[in-house]
């Protein structure tokens, strides 16, 4: 490894029986660095793209340190912390990137470590899949990867578990480093109009809004998944190979169009009593990265649709988490009486994974946050050192509350300060975020009755 004193990681290969992971060179450097630095066991996540033929790992990121547990840090692994980290990280991954598994750097006996890793991948997968509103496909890869690196010997053991099979045993897998793994990956993107309106139950509390919105999101996600996808203006047969993927260093970008239609099924209840309604309206930018190993149109479509669903669901979830905190704090002092409030969903911001080409990760920025919060989260969650100028903020414009024509009746406008306590990020960024609280703009319309 040029310019570094890291000794290369030594991988045990077990033939071609199991899955084969093509791993970005930088991951080797990152793991080696962690081997040098940390005294105790280090856990972290492996991020990349799986496909039926081949799996690609493009980055690794260590679990952030949990301050309160520092003292007890010894040799034990904080499962809850690792899974929470995975949940946060998976929100920051655009289409085509996902948490593929877990690594651990420890000199503990390989057998014991495997048990720990097994527990970790199952816990991570369980938590992440809870957040998925899309329906899994038959060709989804259900194997998760685990990597054990011994910091002294630098011996690396790669195993996979089928996380959909609770009894699955560890299977050996190939772990091979290569440079520029994702340098010629394609990108497919779109801007998509979201227009959702759901009723609230008659006894509307904050928790009911969560349920209603989640139900609404599920229906909407189904429309998206069953919609037709055009790539660069054309409807391609599913098995069409995306062209140009083979050309090295020629990065392909595609624009997608989604055509949707509601279900033909008629709703049984035409008129129902409700305690109000919630709408989500606006435009999101969605994108997916597609590996360069002869990808099919079907794959690109699947990955993009999942990103569309995830980016909306994630943002709604983030906002709900905010509201929950602020409403718990106000402890019901704010009465919900005939009022209309508006909240901006956070804006999506991208940041290139510098090491190797075009692939970006993303973050969501609330309107009251600055870019430094974004770079801090990138550092904490993904261990990415990004400067503010590295951020790509051009895909979505800043959110703005537009006063809607709410009702024909005369309305009185009042601005209400919602004081959200942001606790959806763990660790340092969380502490900073809490200190840097600002008010989420909200508008309140009181009916002048």
Partner 1 sequence: MVVSDSQCSDTWTILRVRGPLELKCQLDSTDVPLMHKVISRTFGTLQSLVKSEACVLTVCDSPVIIWPNRGVHATPDEITPNTLCEDLQQWIQTDEQESTGKRSARKKSKKSSSVFTFVIQSIINLRLMMEATTTGPLPPPILTRTIKKSHFFSTTLPMDCVIRTNCNDTIKDACERLVEALSHQLCEMEKVILQHMKGMTLLVPEPLHFLLPEPKGLVTVVYPAGVPDSQLETQRRDLHQRFELLDDWPYFRRANAYHFPNEPYRDGYLRNPHLVLTHPTLDNGKVYLVQGIYSYHHYMQDHMDDNGWGCAYRSLQTICSWFEQQGYTERHVPTHKEIQQALVDVGDKQKSFVGSRQWIGSIEVQAVLNQLLEVTSKIMFVSQGSELASKGRELANHFLTEGTPVMIGGGVLAHTILGVAWSETTGQIRYLILDPHYTGAEDLQVITDKGWCGWKGPDFWDQTAYYNLCLPQRPKTI
248-287: contacts with partner 1 (CB under 8 A): 256-267, 269-285
Q: Which stretch binds partner 1 (CB under 8 A): 35-43, 55-63, 121-129, 224-232?
A: 224-232
Least distance to partner 1 from the beta carbon of 313, Å?
A: 12
| 4 or 338: CB nearest partner 1 | 338
Cα separation, 295 vs 241, in Å, equals 6
Residue 193, beta-bridge partner list: 283
Least distance to partner 1 from the beta carbon of 234, Å?
A: 5
Q: Are strands 360-365 and 347-352 parallel, antiparallel or unpaired?
A: antiparallel
Cα separation, 442 vs 449, in Å, equals 21
Binding mask 13-32 for partner 1 (x = CB under 8 A): --------------------
| Burial environment of residue 4 by CB neighbours within 10 A (0 to 12, 13 to 18, 19 or more) | exposed
Which of 110, 127, 170, 230 binds partner 1 (CB under 8 A)? It is: 230
| 67 or 413: CB nearest partner 1 | 413
Which of 57, 319, 355, 429 binds partner 1 (CB under 8 A)? It is: 319
| 119 or 371: CB nearest partner 1 | 371
List the Cα angle 221/225/229 in 5-degree steps: 130
Cα separation, 131 vs 376, in Å, equals 24
| 68 or 400: CB nearest partner 1 | 400
Least distance to partner 1 from the beta carbon of 255, Å?
A: 8
| 42 or 198: CB nearest partner 1 | 198
Within residues 47-76, the interface with partner 1 by CB under 8 A covers none
Binding to partner 1 by residue 384, rule CB under 8 A?
no
List the Cα angle 415/417/419 in 5-degree steps: 160
Q: Which two tokens stand for residue 372?
A: 């430094």
Binding to partner 1 by residue 339, rule CB under 8 A?
yes
For helices 297-330 and 206-226, give the axis angle rounded to 10 degrees: 170
Binding mask 342-371 for partner 1 (x = CB under 8 A): xxxxxxx-----------------------
Distance of alpha carbon 117 from its chain centroid, rounded?
A: 21
Binding to partner 1 by residue 449, rule CB under 8 A?
no
Binding to partner 1 by residue 234, rule CB under 8 A?
yes
DSSP reduced 3-state for 151:
coil
Cα separation, 258 vs 191, in Å, equals 10
Cα separation, 231 vs 188, in Å, equals 8
Cα separation, 383 vs 375, in Å, equals 10
| 101 or 346: CB nearest partner 1 | 346
Binding to partner 1 by residue 447, rule CB under 8 A?
yes
Binding mask 388-427 for partner 1 (x = CB under 8 A): ------xxxxxxxxx-x-xxx-------------------
- N-terminal to C-terminal alpha carbon distance within the chain: 74
| Sign of the CA dihedral with 265 first, then 280, 444, and 416 last | positive
Least distance to partner 1 from the beta carbon of 86, Å?
A: 25
Least distance to partner 1 from the beta carbon of 217, Å?
A: 12
Q: Which stretch binds partner 1 (CB under 8 A): 149-157, 164-172, 308-316, 379-387?
A: 308-316
Q: Which stretch binds partner 1 (CB under 8 A): 43-51, 72-80, 121-129, 186-194?
A: 186-194
Least distance to partner 1 from the beta carbon of 229, Å?
A: 9
DSSP reduced 3-state for 411:
strand
Q: Which stretch binds partner 1 (CB under 8 A): 53-61, 135-143, 178-186, 201-209?
A: 201-209
Whole-number Cα distances in Å, 168 to 61, 113, 165, 391: 26, 16, 5, 41
> Are residues 379 and 386 in contact, defined by beta-carbon separation less than 8 angstroms?
yes
Cα separation, 147 vs 161, in Å, equals 11
Number of chain residues interacting with partner 1 (CB under 8 A): 78
């Amino acid at each position: 490894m040029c310019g570094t004193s890291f000794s290369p990681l030594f991988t045990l290969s077990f033939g071609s029986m199991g899955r084969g992971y093509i791993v970005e060179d930088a991951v080797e450097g990152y793991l080696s660095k962690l081997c040098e630095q940390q005294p105790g066991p280090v856990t972290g996540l492996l991020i990349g793209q799986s496909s039926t033929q081949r799996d690609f790992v493009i980055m690794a990121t260590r679990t952030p340190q949990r301050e309160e547990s520092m003292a007890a840090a010894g040799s034990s692994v904080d499962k809850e912390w690792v899974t929470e980290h995975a949940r946060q990280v998976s929100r920051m991954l655009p289409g085509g990137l996902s948490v593929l598994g877990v690594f651990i750097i420890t000199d503990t006996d390989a057998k014991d470590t495997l048990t720990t890793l097994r527990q970790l991948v199952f816990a991570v997968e369980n938590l992440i899949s809870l957040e998925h509103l899309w329906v899994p496909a038959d060709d989804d890869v259900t194997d998760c990867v685990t990597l054990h690196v011994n910091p002294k010997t630098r011996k690396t053991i790669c195993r996979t578990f089928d996380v959909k099979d609770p009894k699955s045993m560890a299977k050996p897998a190939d772990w091979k480093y290569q440079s520029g793994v994702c340098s010629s990956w394609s990108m497919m993107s779109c801007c998509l109009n979201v227009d959702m309106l759901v009723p609230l139950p008659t006894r509307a509390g904050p928790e009911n809004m969560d349920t209603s919105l989640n139900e609404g999101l599920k229906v909407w996600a189904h429309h998206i998944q069953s919609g037709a996808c055009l790539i660069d203006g054309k409807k391609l047969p599913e098995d069409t190979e995306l062209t140009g993927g083979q050309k090295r260093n020629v990065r392909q970008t595609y624009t997608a169009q989604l055509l949707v239609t509601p279900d033909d099924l008629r709703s049984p209840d035409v008129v129902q009593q409700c305690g109000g309604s919630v709408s989500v309206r606006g435009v999101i930018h969605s994108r997916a990265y597609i590996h360069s190993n002869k990808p099919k149109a079907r794959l690109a479509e699947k990955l993009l649709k999942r990103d569309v669903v995830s980016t909306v669901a994630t943002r709604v979830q983030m906002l709900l988490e905010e509201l929950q905190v602020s409403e718990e704090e106000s402890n019901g002092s704010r009465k919900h009486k005939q009022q209309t409030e508006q909240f901006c969903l956070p804006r999506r911001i991208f940041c290139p994974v510098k090491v190797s080409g075009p692939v970006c990760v993303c973050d969501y920025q609330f309107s009251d946050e600055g870019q430094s919060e974004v770079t801090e989260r990138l550092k904490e969650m993904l261990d990415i050192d990004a400067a503010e100028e590295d951020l790509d903020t051009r895909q979505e414009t800043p959110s703005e509350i537009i006063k809607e024509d709410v009702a024909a009746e005369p309305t009185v406008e009042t601005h209400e300060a919602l004081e959200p306590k942001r606790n959806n990020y763990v660790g340092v960024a969380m502490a900073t975020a809490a200190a840097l609280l600002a008010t989420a703009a909200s508008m309140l319309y009181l009916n002048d009755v």
